[in-house]
Structure formats: structure tokens, C-alpha cells
Amino acid sequence: MQRALITLAFASLFSTAIHAQPCLANWDYYLPVILDNAAGQALSDFQMRVDLPLAPLISAGKLRPDAADLRVVDSLCQPLPFYIDSTLAASSNTLWIRIPGIGAGKQYKFRIYYGRPQAQNSAASGDDTFIFFDDFEAPAVDPDKWEAIGAYATWQQSGGEMTYASDYNSTTGARFKFVRSRAFFKGPHLFDFGITQSTNANFGFGSNRDTLNRYLLRYQSGASDTMDLPAVLTDSTSNGYATVTDWPNLAVIRDQPQDLSVLVQVNAADHLLIERIGNRTTGQQVTVPFEFNYFEQDSFSFVISSFSVSFEVSLRYLKVRKPVTFPTVRILAEGFQGTPSSVPDPRTALLRVFPNPTRGLLDLRPEFRVLQWQLRDLQGRSLLSLPGSESRIDLSPLPSGLYLLEAQVPDGEPVRLLIQRS
């Protein structure tokens, strides 16, 4: 009898969400997503940000704790490259998805699938998603991605960081040596990276025409944590550099991890142009462009540089992507295409919550005793708490989106269900 109730409940709850032609038939759940580019220009081959906290799905037993069963596919069930931008224990997560294109005023539809415990190998790939990517999780520096120019005292990779220091000291005459990416870029590209740097260990960009021609963004000497010296260096092996000037006055705390973003390109004059630079750790951003016109170049590499043995610079990650105005994201109601026996928590079917999606009023008809109702956002924050005797919740004051309904029960874990406020 209970099995029949479960089957009937799922049939009524998910009948409108089941796709006529199932994609990834062995996966139980999916979230349909619509990108709406009504107000935007045509975009091609770009990295799209979708904020989707994964902890509620893991807590509900729908997603593996390591998210190895997460998949993203287009409307034809073709896989889309994606990357999960934070730890699964975080209060929120960002999925970066590589979208082949979307026309001006058009929509693009895809699905995010999950709910296959047997999936062992994650499909997430930073290399496939971004123009250039390194999270430095490998046991050693990837020689296909990075090369050292000049001798060094430290160049290693461990604990999710690549650390570099020049070999210069008081008895040697060569300083400001560096590591550069083997990939070269023309842009415009956004460079998102996590860095820990010091007075004379910094980042910058190198020229493709002459290995030793490069620009570094450095600090003024003294106690200030303001990065305001664009240095033009042209000779790594004899310490020479052309000039420095004042820009951009960006606060970047020395010797502490910071998350920076730089929008940079080679302009029509073959000069390096930094359009803006920001510190995502502090929220500060400098939007006054700066053009380096000391030498010409067709493309540029990403550089980290060190003055001496005592000055180290460390990178935690580097992601290079296209700068675009993101289309509007709409995440629709969760779909189900599994069988009742594959549902991690069969009690969910007996919650009897409807309609879902809802425009506001949500009727509660659980077939078990509920002590208390909790409504949470996908960051886990409590929005509403009601006694278990309540039979209706009004979601109309809340914006459209996904919410997590929890039913506290006398014994065991809460019963959880995703609710769509349409």
C-alpha cells in the first residue's frame, strides 16, 4: 500500500516535468535553465555564470557529496563543458558553463542533471570551460602551461598553489626573473586569479615579440598596500627596466591571499591596454584604462615575477574568460525522470505539497507528522518558520526562484523538497 502511495504521489507531483524524450535516462533529476538575451548583443563561445548552491541538493540526497554526477547538456542532449567554482561545502556555488552562442534578443536552453550515485568520474573541467585554466592541484607545475625565464630559487607547486622566487641575492647581478604562461592572448580577456604577493614579487604581462619585454604591476616602497606602479622591464638578465609611472592605486594587501580580476587586450596600435582592474576580495575596482605604449606586441602572456630569493609570489588559480554582459538566468522547476525506487528519500513523495511550481500559495498535506516547517533559500538561510500544524504557506512576498522546504519530523533527518516560486 505504501509503495502505491509513493508511486501515485510522484506521478502527480512530477508528471508535468517529465521530458517527452528523456535525456541522460539514468539520471534522476534535472533543472531546466533558460538564458534570456533579450537586451543583449549576440555572443559566441563564452563562459556563462550560473549561481546554483549545491549543498541543499547534497543534503537532500539528490547529488553525490563530490558532485561527480553533475552534468550539463544542451537542448539536443549534447554535453556542455562546465566547472564548479567553489568547494561543495560553501554556502553558495557558481557553475561556469561554456555556451557555444546566443543571438541578440534570443534564448538559449540547457539542463543541469544530477541524481546518479553510480557516477564515479566528474565531468567538470576547467581546461574545457575556460580559455586558459590552472588550479594548481596537480602534484607538479604543468610544463605545457608554464615556463621559467632565468634561474630561480623556488618554483614549485603544492597544496593548490604555484610559488615562485628569483635566485637573485647580493652576490648575483640578475634579478626580476619570472615565470610566464606558455599560452599567449590578444583579448579582450578577463583574467581572474588568486594571488599572494609582496613588495617585489608581483604579476604582469609579457610580450610575444621579445621574451624579456614585459609589464609588471608593483607596489610603491614603504608600508603602503597600494599597488600603483606599472613597471616596464626590458632586460631580465641585467636588471634593466625602462620606466615606472603612477597607476592604478588599487589596494592589494601584501603577503595575504587576494582575488583579482584584470580586463586586458592588445589594442589597434599593438599596445597592451588594461581596461580595468579590480580586487574581488575588497570589492574595489579601478576603471580608468591604462595603455602601455613603450613597445609593440601582437599578443601577451601572463607573468609572475620576483626580485630576489626573499620575495615569493604564489598563484592559487588562474581562469581566463571572455568579458560579456551575461544574459538573464532563469532556473525552472526541478524535473524528475527516475523511478520511485531510485529516490534517495521516499518520504519526500509523502509530503503532498502542491502546486509546485507555485505563484504564491503552497498547500501542505503531509502523510506523516510534522513538528515544524522551515523555508530556506538555497544558501541555507531560514526565511520562514511555521508550526507543523499549518496547512498553507504564502510565498507571494518572495521573488521568483528555487527554495528549500524542510519538514522537521519526530525521528530522523528533516524531509526536504525543492520548491519553485514562479
At 417 the pLDDT is: 83
User: What are the phi and psi torsion angles at 397 (to 5°)?
Assistant: -70, -15
Of 108, 74, 72, 113, give the one whose Cα is nearest residue 335: 113
Angle at 24 between CA 22 and CA 28, to 5 degrees: 85
Of 186, 135, 386, 408, give the one whose Cα is nearest residue 300: 186
pLDDT tens by residue, 189-224: 999 999 999 988 999 999 999 999 999 999 876 668
- Residues above pLDDT 90, as percent of the chain: 61
Pairing of strands 82-84, 361-364: unpaired
pLDDT tens by residue, 68-81: 999 999 999 999 99
Flag whether pLDDT at 292 surpasses 90.
Answer: yes
Mean pLDDT calculated for residue range 355-368: 88
Give the mean pLDDT of the chain: 87
Flag whether pLDDT at 5 surpasses 50.
Answer: no
At 222 the pLDDT is: 66
Mean pLDDT calculated for residue range 143-169: 95
Q: Model confidence at 272, in pLDDT bands (50, 70, 90)? A: very high
Mean pLDDT calculated for residue range 94-108: 97
Of 193, 166, 163, 155, give the one whose Cα is nearest residue 314: 163
By CB atoms closer than 10 A (0-12, 13-18, 19+), residue 7 is middle
Q: Model confidence at 128, in pLDDT bands (50, 70, 90)? A: very high
Distance of CA 51 to the CA centre of its chain: 8
At 240 the pLDDT is: 61
Q: Specify the higher pLDDT residue, 350 or 143.
A: 143
At 293 the pLDDT is: 92
Residues facing residue 262 across a β-bridge: 191, 277
Flag whether pLDDT at 172 surpasses 90.
Answer: no
Least confident of 232-246, 298-312, 348-362: 232-246
Q: Specify the higher pLDDT residue, 211 or 22.
A: 211
Cα 348 from Cα 226, distance rounded (Å) = 54
Q: Specify the higher pLDDT residue, 308 or 161.
A: 161
Mean pLDDT calculated for residue range 168-174: 75
Angle at 214 between CA 209 and CA 217, to 5 degrees: 155
Cα 66 from Cα 59, distance rounded (Å) = 12
Highest mean pLDDT among 11-25, 169-183, 276-290, 396-410: 276-290
User: What are the phi and psi torsion angles at 293 (to 5°)?
Assistant: -115, 25
pLDDT tens by residue, 218-266: 987 666 899 998 989 887 655 666 677 889 899 999 999 999 999 999 9
Is the N-terminal amide bond of 117 cis, ω within 30° of 0?
Answer: no
Flag whether pLDDT at 36 surpasses 60.
Answer: yes
Flag whether pLDDT at 11 surpasses 80.
Answer: no
User: What are the phi and psi torsion angles at 367 (to 5°)?
Assistant: -100, 25
Flag whether pLDDT at 1 surpasses 60.
Answer: no
Flag whether pLDDT at 20 surpasses 50.
Answer: no
What pTM was estimated for this model as a whole? 0.78
Flag whether pLDDT at 4 surpasses 70.
Answer: no
Flag whether pLDDT at 406 surpasses 70.
Answer: yes
Mean pLDDT calculated for residue range 377-400: 86
Cell of 118: 553510480
Least confident of 29-43, 189-203, 228-242, 280-294: 228-242
At 237 the pLDDT is: 59
SS (H, E, C) the chain: CHHHHHHHHHHHHHCCCCCCCCCCCCCCEEEEEEEECCCCCCEEEEEEEEECCCHHHHHCCCCCCCCCCCEEEECCCCECCEEECCCCCCCCCEEEEEEEEECCCCEEEEEEEECCCCCCCCCCCHHHHCCEEECCCCCCCCCCCEEEECCEEEEEEECCEEEEEECCCCCCCCCCEEEEECCCECCCEEEEEEEECECCEEEEEEECCCCCCEEEEEECCCCCCEEEEEEEEEECCCCEEEEECCCCCEECCCCCCEEEEEEEEECCCCCEEEEEEEECCCCEEECCCEEECCCCCCCEEEEEEECCCCCCEEEEEEEEECCCCCCEEEECCCEECCCHHHCCCHHHHHCCEECCCECCEEEECCCCCCCEEEEECCCCCEEEEEECCCCEEECCCCCCEEEEEEEECCCCCCEEEEEEEC
Least confident of 90-104, 162-176, 181-195: 162-176
